[in-house]
Amino acid sequence: MVGWVWKIVLVLCLVVAINSGVTVATRTTTTGNRRRRGEYLQYGLNVWPKPRSISWPHPEATLLSPSFNISSPSHPYLSPAVERYLLQILKEHYIPMFTPALNVSNSSPPLQTLAITVKDLKSPLGDGVDESYTLVIPSDNSGCGYLEAETAWGAMRGLETFSQLVWGEPSRVPVGLRVRDSPLFQHRGLMLDTSRNYYPVEDLVRTISAMSANKLNVFHWHITDSHSFPLLLPSHPDLASKGSYGPHMQYSPSDVASIVRLGLEHGVRVVPELDFPAHTGSWAGAYPEIVTCANMFWWPAETEWNDRLASEPGTGHLNPLNPKTYEVVKDVIRDVVTLFPDTFYHAGGDEIVPGCWKADPDVQSFLSNNPNATLSQLLEMFVNSTFPYIQSLNRTAVYWEDILLDQNIKVDPSFLPPANTILQTWNNGPNNTKLIVSSGYRAIVSSSDFYYLDCGHGDFLGNDSQYDQPPAAQQGDDADPPCKNNNNGGSWCGPFKTWQTVYDYDITDGLSQEEAKLVIGGEVALWSEQADPTVLDARLWPRTSAMAETLWSGNRDHTGKKRYAEAMDRLNEWRYRMVSRGVRAEPLQPLWCIKNPGMCNTVHPFL
């Protein structure tokens, strides 16, 4: 019955539009061609991330009918999204910080309906899914707007755009407007570490909701690490019961199911990461026999940095020589694949520290009995047992770049065929991205120089003498721990990554056209050594919004010039709207700057 009602409404809207001389295929004008910078915001039109193409030749608005409705085809995830957006649109009544200079048209009736059409309702949310949409709000007498999308996921993006176009009390909406939109990059993500500090489900829910509002589509969930194992797995419940911070700091299968479903209803994929073979000290509570150097002090006194057992407190690597390791690991992978339907499986593979493996008697014996043996061969042994198993479960394996680029322990590329492997970059900026794609691998960019949102808050080590030394003694070198150099405030990846730093980064910088095609997108990362629910929103937003726009529509205007200057006013407005939606995003400027447009700018860009 609902499907017939939807079809009748759509037909009526189209008939009225045709009789009024309006067609859905109206002329498109690239954003900025017709309007000077900031004029859309002046008129009350602010959408973040900025759409690829907007046509609004005669800025006008009409009222939104109190009985406004959204007609849509039935879909298990789009239908809940429609209900959610409808409620938000009718209840939000957002008042922009800068009062729009836009009058309500006397010739346009209130907007009664937004009619959604979707060409392919069966397309799953996954790698490379079509998220394009066209939104038309005509200035005629139909009282109808139109949202066309190839898939349900594109329709969700269009709904978010429409929700941001509605403002005021009573609610207003622009008319005579057409948006044609699609993302530049297919993978636009956020990585959150829930091992070092625990985040309740409601924090993950709020984060995924905010991601969807920013048109991000991948929640990379770094669930476990050496510090805790909060995921309750059916086959090995002791991993969580003995490896988590406590029974109240675990994620049950029902928790995961609710988070995955929430993600689908918001157009956000949930990609799990259980990092191994390094970063597995938390496994030792349940299975001490398969973890090397567990519960040992991370950097023994009077030893060199190269002789450490871990790169930060929290030791433990899985032992590739123990057959029990593979029994447990394969059970874990199978459970995780069952819990998470996404086609990506993030298998970690980063920061294998030689000292941890060398501290194990079995490894010592292996090396002494095989003079030509290397620790890289141990990693290859582990990958050769786990990578094919991940493939057999119809998953694409994602690894951190270290598995191929680490200077000390890495696998030969033959163990990881590019067709079935994606590598995530985090070190050495665009140089490592270049190394990966030039070898034929697809890349996800998470450069710590630009996208690590935990940086710039010092370090979490206690009894650190670097803070009690004269400046001349605070100079590190390549053999020192990353945090040794205090020029960055004690943070190895300092300084703090401002939103401008995030916004300015071009993730395909220095790549050829063919190489750039292998960059599927990027992710900001929030590691949680110094983050927990009390600071989550402020650490993520609105800096993550900056990346969201660059990966959706770029960071340049139609002339090719970087647009970070004009982005400030728009991002400021978007930050306040996110706050009104319950996201505690940090401020960008004093409120005075918004109330006095232009007075907080500078005309000295080279000082």
- Residues annotated as catalytic are 351
Kindly state the tokens that stand for 457.
């808050």
Residue-level length of the chain: 607
Radius of gyration of the CA atoms of the chain, in A: 26
In sequence order, what are the beta bridge partners of 287?
none
Comparing CA positions, the residue from 138, 157, 186 lying closest to residue 523 is 186
C-alpha torsion angle, residues 587, 164, 557, 214 (rounded to 10): 60
Neighbours of 554 (CB within 10 A): 17
Kindly state the tokens that stand for 563.
């647009």
Burial of 4 (0-12, 13-18, 19+ CB in 10 A): exposed
Residue 552: alpha-carbon gap to chain centroid = 12
Kindly state the tokens that stand for 385.
């047992």
- Distance in angstroms (rounded) separating the CA atoms of residues 70 and 207: 25
Kindly state the tokens that stand for 355.
């000292």
Alpha-helix residue ranges (DSSP H) falling in 38-151: 39-42, 78-91
Give whole-number Cα distances, 576 to 23, 123, 142, 542, 564, in Å.
35, 34, 33, 10, 18
Q: Could you report how far apart the first and last alpha carbons of the chain are, in Å?
A: 65
Asked if 113 contacts 68 with a C-beta cutoff of 8 angstroms, the reply is: yes
Neighbours of 202 (CB within 10 A): 9
- Distance in angstroms (rounded) separating the CA atoms of residues 80 and 86: 10
Give whole-number Cα distances, 180 to 24, 157, 452, 499, 525, in Å.
11, 11, 32, 26, 30
Neighbours of 194 (CB within 10 A): 22
- Distance in angstroms (rounded) separating the CA atoms of residues 428 and 95: 43
